Structure 1
Amino acid sequence: MIIPTKRSNTTNLFQHLKQRHKKLHDQCMSTKSIETNKCTHQSQPEQTEQVSIVQAFASAVPYEKGSKRHKEITDAITYHICKDMMPTHIVSKDGFRRLIQTLDKRYQLPSRTHFTRFAIPEMYEKCKAGVEHELKQVKYFATTTDMWSSRTMEPYMSLTVHYVNDNFEMKSRCLQTAFFPEDHTGENISEGLKEALASWGLCEEQQVSITTDNGTNIVKAVPLNNWTRLQCFGHRLHLAIGLSKGEGQLKVLYPKHLNTTYMIKWNIQRANSTYGKTQNRLSNTS
């Protein structure tokens, strides 16, 4: 390695090495050449390619709606809405729109209507097709179901399927949470469950059992379909804890009272809706 010093030179030294020590001279010259090339390379400024006019304007032009990049971002936003159960009006929020513009200025966020009418239904159909493909490989399965109401007192019936795949992995798929406006009688629930299985191409004979709570209507519905019913362990455990604390009377009476109140409200709401439709139909005919 060559070490520079002030007020001195290495000319005489190199001449001596050249004449007396040829091998050392060659090594020194080789090292000196490498050091010189390294310093020269570091001192040269990096050359950057000049952006063409076409490229400069292209960076400011929005993506075409049918382009691959536009579809990728739209699909990612749709997945975010579905996976995280976000309201669709999030795409209209100023903060969310600013976030998207910061991430990619060329992307123009579609309207809320686009997501509700096209993007989300399209993703649902793709997801449903994938689940249906999985279920075709299943030989036997079990299901769980429950009846519940939304915050706006609208009734729904959920259905989840459980099975073990070829790799002996336990899988669960929530098939549907369907609007169920009919009276929650055993006959209506049994028919609704049969229709739900049929809509997913599931054969009743392959169903090992169905797990439910202890509601009178669902207890009546399952035998009507000649299915094997299992009681929900979590529900029974909850009741057992309540009984052990001396809250049995409250735990039993309160749900019945709540259910009666709910059914009255829902029947009134349904009657008003039916009355309104009939009134509109009569007005149009007159």
Structure 2
Amino acid sequence: MAESVSETEELVKKTGATSVIWTWFGFKPSDEQQNILCRVCGAKVPAKRGNTTNLFYHLKTEHVVEYQHCQAMQPTAKSTTKNAGQKKQDLIQTSIQQSFSKGTPYIRKSPRWIEITRAITVYLCKDMVPFQTVERHGFKAMIRAIDPRYEVPSRKYFTETEMPKLYAELRENVEKELCDLKYFATTTDLWSSHTMEPFLSLTIHYITDDWNLGSRCLQTSYFPAEHTAEEIAQGLKEALESWGFKEERQVCITTDNGTNVVKAASLNDWTRLQC
């Protein structure tokens, strides 16, 4: 027997229920959610294990207006489910695309490939690391962990392509920085590498317009010629000329006390300071 509307006004919704149908059905607070009652007519409607089919049927057959309201609310819920499903599908699709892209190596003209290659080149130069480092398993494994899509070029590529390119760029920047110098001083020295290969270095020192002391190592050149005063004098002249500096603007050159270097400065008629 149906209960009166007043008796059902205090009905509570089913715990955890999300269906819109529970807007028109509920339980008495003291009933421990055993008997489902219609909020409109107070009728008891059987529904096993939370199945809402009987509830929709009761509303459709007994309360047409309320049923229409219920149906009007349904598309919102369905639309939400549809949108959630579409988002999930989009995420799956994106994930698949990312998986494929991770396995595709960068082309050598891509910005990312150029960026990593330049960083490795600077690392090799700045830390004076052997070029063969780029072909070692540990280095390649590290780069692969950082970016799996980057394939490390050969040692030959770095020595013949990237290193000359980096040197040309840096030299151009230094030339622009020093092109307006009125006067300068230099230092030089002869030294041998670990493999006993001879080199001649030349460093320029200057004062900027802001009265700051600056210096640049212009070159450390392979110097296979005999270390006679005449050869050293000629090598230093050629070094200055290659950078476009005029001898008359050189205030002095600082060297050690090596007899051949001291005589070389004298042959060039350069003012010399002892280091």
Three-state SS of the structure 2 residue aligned to 1:138 is coil
Residues 77-129 of structure 1 show CA distances to partners (whole Å, capped at 9, x for unaligned) of 00000011000000011111010000001111111110011011110111111
Choose from 95, 111, 120 the match for 1:68: 111
- In the other structure, the counterpart of 1:228 is 271
Residues in 1 aligned to 2:197 and 2:155: alpha-carbon distance in whole angstroms: 24
Three-state SS of the structure 2 residue aligned to 1:105 is coil
Amino acid at match of 1:113: K
Residues 233-262 of structure 1 show CA distances to partners (whole Å, capped at 9, x for unaligned) of xxxxxxxxxxxxxxxxxxxxxxxxxxxxxx
The residue correspondences of 1:36-55 to structure 2 (distance < 5 A) are: 50=91, 51-52=93-94, 53-55=96-98
- In the other structure, the counterpart of 1:110 is 153
Stretch of structure 1 that moved more, 79-88 or 57-66? 57-66
Higher helix share: 1
Choose from 163, 176, 182 the match for 1:133: 176
Residues in 2 aligned to 1:111 and 1:152: alpha-carbon distance in whole angstroms: 23
Residue 213 (str. 1) matches residue 261 (str. 2): no
Three-state SS of the structure 2 residue aligned to 1:172 is strand
Choose from 141, 149, 169 the match for 1:98: 141
Unmatched tracts of structure 2, length 5 or more: 1-28, 30-83
Residues in 1 aligned to 2:209 and 2:137: alpha-carbon distance in whole angstroms: 48
TM-score, with normalisation over the residues of structure 1? Answer: 0.63
* CA deviation after TM superposition for structure 1 residue 54, in Å: 3.9
Amino acid at match of 2:209: D
Residues in 1 aligned to 2:153 and 2:183: alpha-carbon distance in whole angstroms: 43
Amino acid at match of 2:201: S
- In the other structure, the counterpart of 2:234 is 191
Amino acid at match of 1:57: F
* CA deviation after TM superposition for structure 1 residue 55, in Å: 4.2
Choose from 66, 77, 92 the match for 2:120: 77
Unmatched tracts of structure 1, length 5 or more: 1-7, 9-44, 233-286
Whose Rg is larger?
A: 2
* CA deviation after TM superposition for structure 1 residue 69, in Å: 0.6
Stretch of structure 1 that moved more, 100-109 or 175-184? 175-184
- When the two structures are aligned, how many residues end up with a matched partner? 188
Choose from 164, 178, 181 the match for 2:224: 181
Stretch of structure 1 that moved more, 99-108 or 129-138? 129-138
- In the other structure, the counterpart of 2:101 is 58
Residues in 1 aligned to 2:154 and 2:188: alpha-carbon distance in whole angstroms: 35
Identity of counterpart residues, as a percentage?
Answer: 54
Residues 24-66 of structure 1 show CA distances to partners (whole Å, capped at 9, x for unaligned) of xxxxxxxxxxxxxxxxxxxxx9x77514344442232111111
Residues in 2 aligned to 1:93 and 1:211: alpha-carbon distance in whole angstroms: 42
* 4+ long deviations beyond 6 Å: none
Residues in 2 aligned to 1:59 and 1:188: alpha-carbon distance in whole angstroms: 57
Three-state SS of the structure 1 residue aligned to 2:107 is coil
* CA deviation after TM superposition for structure 1 residue 170, in Å: 1.5
Residues in 1 aligned to 2:261 and 2:232: alpha-carbon distance in whole angstroms: 7
Residues in 2 aligned to 1:147 and 1:77: alpha-carbon distance in whole angstroms: 30
Residues in 2 aligned to 1:149 and 1:109: alpha-carbon distance in whole angstroms: 32
Residues in 1 aligned to 2:252 and 2:151: alpha-carbon distance in whole angstroms: 49
Three-state SS of the structure 1 residue aligned to 2:273 is strand
Three-state SS of the structure 1 residue aligned to 2:159 is helix
Residues 120-143 of structure 1 show CA distances to partners (whole Å, capped at 9, x for unaligned) of 111011111111111102111110
Residues in 1 aligned to 2:212 and 2:153: alpha-carbon distance in whole angstroms: 39
* CA deviation after TM superposition for structure 1 residue 182, in Å: 1.5
